[in-house]
Amino acid sequence: MRRVPLILAISCAVLAVVALVQLPIHSSAQAPAFPAREPVVKAAAFWSATGVKPGGEITLALALDIRKPYHINPNKTKEPFIPTTVEILEAPNELRSSTPIFPEPETIDFGAGAAKERISVFTGRTVFYMPMAVTEAAKPGEHEVKIKVGYQACDDKQCLFPTDLTETVKLAVVDPSAKVEKANAEMFQ
């Protein structure tokens, strides 16, 4: 007598699974659309000159536009905050770079209540500079330089997960006899 209820229970379970499998499945195209969120940080790159001759020097300005009400931590920060980093991921072998030059951060109040503290941050438009040189062996032409910026964005009370952005810029190595002019003067004052 106990076998009939067990067999009946198993049969009901199998029927329920078969019924679920046959239900219509909604494609992701029918899912409700959510508006795309604007990135917290956008980057733009600017060279100090129209190109660089083999054996010459050039500086890259990397401008980060940080959306309000957010800020990012400076390159030197205290625990538990994540510092901003800038590194070259890919570049021609003939390119040499120096340590990025970071601006002075500003100081703000962060946290709430008894946990409120003064911290150093970057806000609004923040520009980092990367002095570079190319060796005498550099061949004329356009060369890609891929740069990664790691950062943690926060508002005045909490922080988002650390993330990074990648920017690829074209470096023009020109013939030694070519004329090179200063460029983007507003970024290099």
Q: Which residue is it, tokens 């709430």? A: 112
> Cα separation of 103 and 120, whole Å?
11
Residue 82 pLDDT = 93
User: If DSSP codes are grouped into helix, strand and coil, which group holds residue 15?
Assistant: helix
Residues 110-154 have pLDDT tens digits of 877 888 888 999 999 999 999 999 999 999 999 999 999 999 999
Of the ranges 14-18, 36-40, 183-187, the best mean pLDDT one: 183-187
Tell me the C-alpha to C-alpha distance, in Å, between residue 125 and each of 114, 121, 149, 155, 176: 30, 12, 15, 16, 35
Tokens read off for 170 = 């074209």
Residue 186 pLDDT = 95
pLDDT at 72 exceeding the cut of 90: yes
Nearest to 147 by CA among 90, 63, 82: 90
Chain-wide mean pLDDT for the chain?
84
pLDDT at 8 exceeding the cut of 50: no
Residue 10 pLDDT = 44
Q: Is the dihedral of CA 130, 136, 141, 143 positive or negative?
A: negative
